[in-house]
Amino acid sequence: MLEILLGFTLVLTRISAFFLVLPVFGWQTIPMQVKVAATVVLSLFFAAVVPLGIDVAEISTLKAILLLAGEATYGLALGVIVTSLFSVVRLSGQIIEREMGLTMAEILDPLTGENGQPLGGLLEMIFILLFLSADGHHLFLLVLSKSYSAFPAGTIPTVQTLTGGVLSAGSAMLIAALRLAAPMLAAFMVLMVALALLARLVPEMNILFISMPVRIGLGLIMAATFLPFLHGYVTELAGWMAKLLPL
């Protein structure tokens, strides 16, 4: 009985920490009752099929607390890595908004309950819809399954492995965001050069007044052309997760 209880608690700790920061499941719009029910059901399932990686007879109270802390750390690290990869689309949208001159524009994000920028939030919503329509949420269950295959309940990777995974995910987030936004940055650079030439050719023209609607219009057009690349990133996301997650 003690082995079953300890095993369930360890599994529940890792899954709860994973879902705490996970995109979609961690949003405030999802009722807390649904989150708790999903976490408990998944914990019961994994506790029933995943063997313990430790000998319960040799576990003291202090060691049990340390094991729970380790499971929570591992679950949080997995969730942070996945969240970083999901933030690529929002970060790309923020880069576009900065070039459009909409840095100060803010709306209340209905998903997280925090202030956000409109274009980045819109692109992220579209990306989430594409992700869920492609059964991408099954990847979350696959991550949990592989984590228990590699590190059964009671065992976790080394601190260096977890830290390296989180740092690599941050670097991958910046690289992928810049790569997605690169065509739009190039278009805005061409626009700035054209406006600079226009300012030299027609000095009496108010370039600042003219540039604002032009930049916004170009940004919206480029955002529309950006949408097909979101579908490509949905498939690319699985590859990033396989490379960066400590499994």
pLDDT confidence of residue 183:
83
Please indicate whether residue 53 or residue 192 has the higher confidence score (pLDDT): 192
CB atoms closer than 10 angstroms to residue 34: 10
CB 137 within 8 A of CB 24: yes
- pLDDT tens track for 172-202: 888 888 888 888 888 888 888 888 888 888 7
Alpha helices in 101-158 (DSSP H): 118-133, 137-150
Range in 106-120, 122-136, 158-172 with the lowest mean pLDDT: 106-120
Can you give the pTM of this predicted structure?
A: 0.82
pLDDT-based confidence at residue 111 (cuts at 50, 70, 90): low
What residue has token string 């690349």? 229
